[in-house]
Amino acid sequence: MKQILNFINGAYVAGQAGKTFKNINPVDGSLIGMVSEAGQPEIDAAVAAARAALEGPWGKMSIAQRVDLLYGVANGITRRFDDFLEAEIADTGKPHHLASHLDIPRGAANFKIFADVVKNVPNEFFEMTTPDNKTALNYALRRPKGVVAVICPWNLPLLLMTWKVGPALACGNAVVVKPSEETPSTAALLGEVMNEVGIPAGVYNVVHGFGPGSAGEFLTTHPGVNAITFTGETRTGSAILRAAADGIKATSMELGGKNPAIVFADADMDAVMVGLKRSVFENTGQVCLGTERVYVERKIFDKVVQRLKEVAETLKPGHPNDHDADFGPLISQEHREKVMSYYQQAKEQGATVVTGGGVPKMPKELEGGSWVEPTVWTGLPETSSIVQQEIFGPCCHVTPFDTEDEAVRMANATPYGLAASVYSSDINRAHRVAARLEVGLCWVNSWFLRDLRTPFGGSKMSGIGREGGVHSLEFYTELRNVCVKLLD
């Protein structure tokens, strides 16, 4: 039986209390292995190891040395591509082609991009005249924040974890990572790469467990943690913000979304369907940036609904290694229950179920997996739970609109503000609408095109702060101003 251990101070260790939990394969419900849960002693040890690393060789390294090591980590992930791929697929059940094109390559790229950012960032400098008419020079040093807690979700485990660990380490911090209890494997495996490439012990630590009363809470309330970077549900984010308040810890919050797509009648229909197929259904709808609300100009409403139905019905569920399979299961039976409860609510609230709404018929060996059908609804009021709440499944509700103002008003009318897509051939309208949408990211005629140098994050209840490129430096470093008076 596979054992997944905590990684503390460069070594794999079991929790002292001997508590373990199951790591389940969502494809068929089989047991992948047992995960060792970290308790307070392991969190204390991980934070102490991180602190010691900052005070030891890691803290004394030049930027050039750190950059070399981070390139080494990226290359190390690429060298062990198949190991990461296998672990990620087993934990998430996502199709092989998705994990091999997105999750693992981006996991490696996240180290290179932030190594480059840190290497190239200019510093602030101001020359001033002093009251006694002399000169003083001001310059700002970027110093690491210290020990950074990295708390991660399960939907893109390696990609989202390294999106935080990459910049944190590039800026000279040490990290304690708490991966999702659903997907502990790739974070644990990364410890081997860290050791192989010579990252000093204590710089990268991994503790496994849950949120309240477990590793997540112990970490976010730990007095030795200087900053918390979190990706996950809005409700969890607010619990973590409360925990962070006591210790005045810096926080970065990448939270949930209920993202709209707005389709104008002049849009290129192929671009619309390529975009919606991915944004609604990719990763079985478990993407924070995914579309769950589609607003379509009334004159093409029926046509878009029909095309969406056709797309949804051609998608084939299947085993990750089945190259014809378009989508995998949801992450767990628990998450399936949540998504199915929304499928049920939609019916009860009087939705027209255009397609889906149930569980697909699977071959016997996959019947134990957490499968759901791709689903499209119409006909619900904008106030319904289906239109207002994040479902995080392969589904969307489609609403017609008559004017640009009406589309913008409906798109903005949820508490969330993560991402949006606008489809139109009218360039002026596209720019106008993008500027009016209350979101952190807006795509035009596309979805999920990511240049890692650009700001990433949500507005309203979708998050606080921006990461990506130089924006990550704002979170992972402390600016220290040095003022030097030049004496005669």
State the residues that interact with ligand NAD by CB under 6 A. Answer: 151-155, 160, 178, 180-181, 210-212, 216-217, 220, 231-233, 236, 239-240, 254-257, 288, 390, 392, 418, 458, 463
Beta carbon nearer to ligand NAD, 254 or 297: 254
- Compute the C-alpha angle 97/99/104, nearest 5°: 130
Q: Which two tokens stand for residue 421?
A: 């897509």
Q: Which residues are catalytic?
A: 254, 288
Distance of alpha carbon 73 from alpha carbon 80, whole angstroms:
11
Q: Which residue has the tokens 């590039």?
A: 170
Count of Cβ atoms closer than 10 Å to residue 52 Cβ = 18
Burial of residue 82 (CB within 10 Å: 0-12, 13-18, 19+) is exposed
| CA-based nearest residue to 266, from 72, 404, 96 | 404
Q: Give the nearest distance from C-beta 216 to ligand NAD in angstroms.
A: 2
- DSSP at 210: -
Q: What is the 3 state secondary structure string of 465-488?
A: CCECHHHHHHHHEEEEEEEEEECC
Q: Give the nearest distance from C-beta 332 to ligand NAD in angstroms.
A: 9
Beta carbon nearer to ligand NAD, 178 or 397: 178
Q: Give the nearest distance from C-beta 162 to ligand NAD in angstroms.
A: 13
Beta carbon nearer to ligand NAD, 76 or 93: 93
Distance of alpha carbon 117 from alpha carbon 269, whole angstroms:
38
Q: Give the nearest distance from C-beta 214 to ligand NAD in angstroms.
A: 7
Beta carbon nearer to ligand NAD, 254 or 373: 254
| Helix (H/G/I), strand (E/B), else coil: 439 | coil
Distance of alpha carbon 222 from alpha carbon 356, whole angstroms:
45
| Helix (H/G/I), strand (E/B), else coil: 460 | strand
| CA-based nearest residue to 103, from 170, 173, 155 | 155
User: Which residue is closest to ligand NAD by CB?
Assistant: 211
Beta carbon nearer to ligand NAD, 181 or 282: 181
Beta carbon nearer to ligand NAD, 57 or 247: 247
Burial of residue 370 (CB within 10 Å: 0-12, 13-18, 19+) is buried
Beta carbon nearer to ligand NAD, 338 or 480: 338
| Helix (H/G/I), strand (E/B), else coil: 462 | coil
Q: Give the nearest distance from C-beta 130 to ligand NAD in angstroms.
A: 46
C-alpha pair distances (Å), 423 with each of 199, 261, 390, 419: 45, 8, 22, 14
Q: Give the nearest distance from C-beta 468 to ligand NAD in angstroms.
A: 11
Distance of alpha carbon 316 from alpha carbon 374, whole angstroms:
10
Number of H-type helices and E-type strands within the chain: 17, 23
Beta carbon nearer to ligand NAD, 115 or 206: 206
Beta carbon nearer to ligand NAD, 200 or 290: 290
Q: Which residue has the tokens 């991994």?
A: 206
| CA-based nearest residue to 249, from 218, 220, 211 | 220
C-alpha pair distances (Å), 433 with each of 229, 356, 421, 443: 31, 31, 10, 11
Count of Cβ atoms closer than 10 Å to residue 97 Cβ = 12
Under 8 Å between Cβ of 289 and 259: yes
Q: Give the nearest distance from C-beta 428 to ligand NAD in angstroms.
A: 30
Q: Give the nearest distance from C-beta 188 to ligand NAD in angstroms.
A: 14
Q: Give the nearest distance from C-beta 450 to ligand NAD in angstroms.
A: 11
